[in-house]
Amino acid sequence: MSTSKFSRPASSHLEPDRIRIARMRRGLTKIELARRLSVTPRTVTKYESGDAPVNAAQALAEALDFPASYFHRAEISMFEAPEVSFRAARRATARERDSAVAAGVSGVEIDRWISTQFVLPTVDLPTFAGEKPKMAAGLLRGLWGLGTKPLPNLVQLCESRGIRVYSLPPIADAVDAYSIWRAEVPYVFLARRKTPERIRFDLAHELGHLVLHGFDSEESAAHEREADAFASELLIPAASVVEYLRQNPSVDELLSVRSQFKVSAMSLAYAAHKAGRMSDWAYRQTCIELSQRGFRRGEPGGMPNYEMSRVFPQVLAGGRSSKVSARVIADDLDLPLSDVHALTFGVELRAAQSTEVTSDTSRRPPTRRHLRAV
């Protein structure tokens, strides 16, 4: 290992939380893992309580598809499912929520690794606990100098303000998204199974949780409504609706403005109605026409591509001389390579693969490089 910061301390037992995290990440119960290991569920419970002998590492690695060395690593900063508020908590199973949380723990490890190699943008995310959602969204737009114009790529905008945005692996897609503060750093984890417009709204929704609810992770219907109201106002301010749409606009006019704001047509119609720009009758007729055009099931003619990170291409695509790759990160953190890819939007510098090195003395960049997110 190239530095002591990421080394594996000697121990007579495996790290219990890492066993638990790997099991959760694979969506397994203790009983299911016990079957794979040909042991009793009680043995698995003992393993996750700190009584896993070091010679169990290989069997765990084969059962969980994690490097055996992962279980020898130092204690990890674990967070529990109750600490986070899932975007789609009711639709997601406990198995899916656990997998999302476990992926997030690895995401925080990856982020801390990246922070030792690159100078990331400083966190610039105020909290407005107790403020009305729409007011908070307006305040954030003002502080970030966004006015009433359509927002740019929201993933990259968040990154430019020090907010860490990671993608979730497919098994956790059902949770949609979640956010959490760790060591005064805000994190958002996004599933990518919906339309680009819906994912953009999910990210704005999680921003609402971070801004409005801070370290209060209580999951409640009221919090979800507040985050939704914040997201709607952040993406489509009432002042913007008045500025960009005439009274009772046609569906085609609505779709034109939708493309500028990169939101769903239904969301824009709702915002126009709430802002008084569309009468009750016009709103009903618009919804009917949009449904007939297929907008209940998808977003025809919407955003052609998903919004992507700008940080990860710079980290993993740092030029021909770059010594950073998903493989280097995975090896240094003893993580499955597939997990690093899944968490970093699948970004990988193919051109640099031939220049990757494995020597412990030359794998890391010599200095921390500054990243520009926007």
Which residue's structure tokens are 């977003």? 299
Q: Is the pLDDT of residue 255 over 50?
A: yes
pLDDT at residue 318, rounded to an integer: 54
Contacts of 294 (CB under 8 A, 6+ apart): 300
- Report the C-alpha gap between 195 and 303 in whole angstroms: 8
Output the average pLDDT for the chain. 88
Place of tokens 């059902």: 174
pLDDT of residue 78: 84
Evaluate if residue 197 carries a pLDDT over 50: yes
Residue 3 has pLDDT above 60, yes or no: no
Q: What tens digit of pLDDT does each residue of 264-323 get?
A: 999 999 999 999 999 999 999 999 999 999 998 899 999 999 999 999 998 986 544 467
Summarize the confidence of residues 45-53 as an average pLDDT: 95
Query: Could you report the per-residue pLDDT of 212-235, keeping only the tens digit for each?
Result: 987 665 667 889 999 999 999 999
From residue 29, give the alpha-carbon distance in Å to each of 19, 26, 131, 201, 289. 12, 9, 41, 32, 47
Quick check: 26 pLDDT over 50? Answer: yes
- pLDDT tens-place string over residues 277-286: 999 999 999 9
Q: What pLDDT sits at residue 366?
A: 43
Reported as a pLDDT band with limits 50, 70 and 90, residue 10 is low
